[in-house]
Every structure is written in C-alpha cells, then in structure tokens.
Chains A and B, each alone.
Chain A
Amino acid sequence: MPDKFKIEKLSFYFKDKRVINSLDLSIRANEILSVLGPANSGITTLLRTLNRLCDTDHDVRIEGDILMDGKSIFAPDISVTELRRKVGMVFEVPTPLPLSIFDNIAYGLRVGGRIGKKEAAERVEYALRTAALWDEVKDRQHIPAMSLSGGQQQRMCIARVIAMDPQVILIDRSCSGLDPISTAKIEESLSQLKERFTIILAPHNVQQAIRVSDRVAFMLMGSLVEEGTGEKVFGDPDDRRTSDYITGRFG
C-alpha cells in the first residue's frame, strides 16, 4: 500500500508551548490507524493539522512537513478548501449545524459548487446508508438535526463527511459519551468505510483501538512512542511507557 500521508519531523507550537514534538509517522491508504494516548498528547492537534483546521487558531507555529500523496499540504499552491474536502473531519462532540438533517449532510456538497437537487438527494441517501443512519431518518430528513439523539447526531456527522466523498476521514474520540449500542453501530460502519477511505481515528479507549484498527500509534506528551498492530503495541509493547499506559499507571 502506498502512503496516503507522510508526516516528517512535525513540530507544532502553540505560542511557546510545544504540543507536537518532531513527529514521524506514515499513514497508508485504506487503513484504519488509531492514534491514542492520554489527554494533552497532541492527538487532536495532529488531526487538526492534517486538514489544516489549525489555520483558524492564533499564535500557531509549525515546523516539519506533512506530505499527502507525496505533495506538501503546506505548499503555497494548495487550496485549503480543496484539502478539507479531501480530508474530512468528525469532531469529538457531535455538532450538527443549526440546519435540517438533509441540509447538514448536503452542506459540504453545496459549498463546493452548484449541485442539482436529484444528485444532492442521491448523495445524501448514500451517505446516510453508509453511516448506518438511513433507516432511522429516511422519512424525516427535513427536521432540525438538533432533534436527533447524541448517537444519531454523531452518525449524521460521519454521514456529513462521507457525502463530500473525501479520501481521508479524521475521527476525533467520536464515541466518548455515546451509549454502547451507538458505539457498536459506528464501529460497524467504520469497517465498511475502510474499503473506500483512509481513516485516522482517535479511539476513546484501548479496546476500541484494538477492535477497529489495522495499526495503532501511541503518543505521549506530543511524541510518538511506538506504532504497530494493536496486538503488538498493546499486547507486547517495546516501550515501558506504553505498558505503563495500558496497565493504568497514567492516562
């Protein structure tokens, strides 16, 4: 498999505080990579850098480089909106925009340019089916998205990203605060998504990381500690800090 992303010596500073420390990591196409670690490990920042959402933050300085399909995402001729269309993001907290379900999912399509009603409807249906939400909302797509339950809102947020037909989906601890059934539904749709998308996931616990991912990366205080298959990293870790984390000494 070719590399989708190649992160080279990436350091991220917020004001003078270093949040990510000279990170090297490759992400292969069509794999599910879980990046996990305790709070303040720089994982959210890493995800926000991959779609350059960090551009909206103030006092930020970035060193190193991120290559997507071999080309730097910081290159001056890169269109940020085009990058974000290719690299979709699901936030930690389910965040419907104050619009209907349909308009939420069609949002990414519409801002990208003119799109016919029929095509929009088809792509919304496809996205809802892929996110395992279609059966629950097919007859009420025009109600406010806020009226969905938390688990449904999060699947809607996944559908909203799928509708853009991205290449990569970043998912930030999206199952925290959800009930086990909603979590199971989301994990189920993840394994289907893998065939079409590269997925970078911040799982909400070690079990989830092992269940859903092809590879895991363990981060601590902005540095990559180790990476490999879930069984390897968490079953027989090379680094003491990893085993400390699993056995609950911190995090």
Chain B
Amino acid sequence: MKISARTSEKIAKTLIWTAAVFVLAVLMFIILYILVKGLPVINWGFLTQVPRSMGREGGVSSTIVGTLMVTSVAVLIAAPFGIGTAFYLAEYTKGGFITRVIRFSAESLAGIPSIVYGLFGFIFFVIYLDLGWSVLSGGLTLAFMILPTIIRTSEEAIRSVPKIYREVSFSLSATKTQTIFKVVLPSALRGIANGIILSIGRCIAETAAVMLTAGSALRMSRSLFDPTRTMAVHFYILAVEGISMENAYGTAALLIIIIFLINVVANTLVNRFVR
C-alpha cells in the first residue's frame, strides 16, 4: 500500500501531537493530584511549627529549614569546584591524559545511583571524619552527587561561547584570565546557571543519600553540625511508616511549590543579570 506524502505528513503530525499531549496530561495529573490532596493541609501552622508526635501533628518548619540548609551547603561547595573544573577542561587543556581522567571520572560519577553516594557519605563523613549525622555530612555528600552535572553543563556552556570572542579579546591585548572573566564567563553564565538550578532540584528531591548522612531528626537544626531531616525524607518516612498520609501529601505539595518558586526566582535573577 502506498501512502501519499500528504497522508504521511498528517499521520506523523497526529502521532507527535498525541505524544506531546499524553506527556503533558500525565505530568499535570501527577502535579494536580498531589496539590489537591496536599494543599488543604497547608496552613500557617503547618509552615511555622516543628513536627510533633513523629509528624502526625504539628508542621514541617524544621524540615523546610533542613532542606534549605543541606541544599545550600551542597551547591555552595559543588558550584565553585564544578565551574572551576569546567573552565579547566574547556579552556586550559588540549585533551591530554589528565583531561581524559577527569572527564571519565565525572561521567562515571554521573551514572552512580544516589544511594551509593549516601553509603560513601555515611562511611566517610559520618563515621570516619566523625561529622555524625549532620547538615554538613548531608551537604557534602550531595555536593559530590551534583558535581558531575555542574561540570558537564558548565563545560558545555563554556564551549558554546564563540571562539572569535576569545580571539577579539586577545587581540585587544587582554590576558587569558581577563578574557575568561570579562568575556567567556558572562557569555556562559546562563548555561552555568541552568546547570545549578537543575542541581538544586536534585538536592531538594534526594531522599536515600540524605537520610544516610544528614539523619532524620525532627528538631530544628541550629548549626551545620546538627542532624536534620529534609522535606523529601520527611514525607518518605510519613508515608512508608504509615504515620500520616495527609501530612505526607501536604509536605509533597509544599515541596513542589518550593521547587517551582526556586525556578522562577533563579530564572528572574538570570534574566536580570545576564545579557
């Protein structure tokens, strides 16, 4: 059977359209389901009180703080090292042995399941370095987890800056460092920021690795050395141990809202400060 070009065009269009609508529908369904189940639970008390009786009552304030602390530590540590490594790979090497080792390591790290990072963090940070279950142990572990993402996205962003910009900068008597800071970094900033936003999302959503390294304390943590519980860990425990499905949905809904807000704020900042 022969199909005319016009018919095949129509069939292709319909298939692509169906795929897109299906994906969108599934996504919307998940988000809406959680918001519908969770939003009624969220009120001022839920946001400001610490959990009581294992999370059956009270709010989730300490887990919000815990999430923000662990994520901040992870990003503040991983971003400088990751961006620095990306600049080294993109600007300073011609593809020698060390470059290949670094790139291979980064790619291998990217493929490791997060629970393995968790186990490593537990053994190395929690026990060997004796940091205990703490914000610091959790943050450091997550920093290792997101490092490959930051390196890869930053390196891509740096490489996509046109070579001619560098040549123009050199021809105007700039040094390599000046060229990188005045021309390459500003041009690559949007791509680098996207990688960091992606990493923030992964940190916030992580459960296994955080549970093993930051613990699951319900108290409000006051320093980097206190144990803590992140939101994702909190509603995991609430759901798995059958403590309170309502509060689990409430926490999940809050998590979605927070991730959404972080994305909006980050994009606004990037648009404001990046040409």
* Chain B residues whose CB sits within 8 angstroms of the CB of A204 once the complex forms: none
If A97-B183, A111-B178, A144-B275 touch, does A84 touch B168 (CB 8 Å cutoff)?
no
If A97-B183, A98-B187, A111-B182 touch, does A53 touch B167 (CB 8 Å cutoff)?
yes
* Chain A residues whose CB sits within 8 angstroms of the CB of B186 once the complex forms: 98
Cβ contacts B14-51/A at 8 Å (1 or 0 each): 00000000000000000000000000000000000000
Cβ contacts B159-191/A at 8 Å (1 or 0 each): 000001111111111110010001100110000
> Are A53 and B169 in contact, CB atoms less than 8 angstroms apart?
no
In the complex, residue of chain B having the shortest beta-carbon distance to the beta carbon of A96: B168
Other-chain contact of B173, A56, A95, A97, A111 (Cβ < 8 Å): A111
* Chain B residues whose CB sits within 8 angstroms of the CB of A51 once the complex forms: 171
Distance of A160 Cα from B169 Cα, bound (Å) = 11
Which residues 78-106 of B sit at the A interface, judged by CB distance below 8 A? 94
Tell yes or no: A188 within 8 A of B by CB: no
Distance of A112 Cα from B164 Cα, bound (Å) = 20
* Chain B residues whose CB sits within 8 angstroms of the CB of A58 once the complex forms: 94
Tell yes or no: A164 within 8 A of B by CB: yes
Other-chain contact of B171, A84, A93, A99, A112 (Cβ < 8 Å): A84
> Are B168 and A91 in contact, CB atoms less than 8 angstroms apart?
yes
* Chain A residues whose CB sits within 8 angstroms of the CB of B275 once the complex forms: 98-99, 144
Cβ contacts A69-100/B at 8 Å (1 or 0 each): 00000000000011011001101010101110
> Are A111 and B164 in contact, CB atoms less than 8 angstroms apart?
no
Distance of A11 Cα from B72 Cα, bound (Å) = 56
* Chain B residues whose CB sits within 8 angstroms of the CB of A56 once the complex forms: 166-167, 170
> Are A82 and B168 in contact, CB atoms less than 8 angstroms apart?
no
Tell yes or no: A245 within 8 A of B by CB: no
Tell yes or no: A150 within 8 A of B by CB: no
> Are B171 and A88 in contact, CB atoms less than 8 angstroms apart?
yes
Other-chain contact of A108, B94, B172, B183, B187 (Cβ < 8 Å): B172
**With A107-B169, A108-B172 already in contact, 5 other A-B pairs whose C-beta atoms are closer than 8 Å:** A56-B166, A82-B173, A91-B171, A97-B169, A111-B169
Which residues of B are at the interface with A, using a C-beta cutoff of 8 A? 94, 164-175, 178, 182-183, 186-187, 275
- In the assembled complex, 29 residue pairs joining A and B whose CB atoms fall closer than 8 Å, in A order, are A56-B166, A56-B167, A56-B170, A58-B94, A81-B173, A81-B175, A84-B171, A84-B173, A89-B171, A91-B164, A91-B167, A91-B168, A91-B171, A93-B164, A95-B165, A95-B168, A97-B165, A97-B168, A97-B183, A98-B183, A98-B186, A98-B187, A98-B275, A108-B172, A111-B173, A111-B174, A111-B175, A111-B178, A160-B172
Which residues of A are at the interface with B, using a C-beta cutoff of 8 A? 51, 53, 56, 58, 81-82, 84-85, 88-89, 91, 93, 95, 97-99, 107-108, 111-112, 144, 160-161, 164
Q: A-B pairs with the 9 shortest C-beta distances?
A: A85-B173, A108-B172, A111-B174, A89-B171, A84-B173, A81-B173, A111-B178, A95-B168, A95-B164
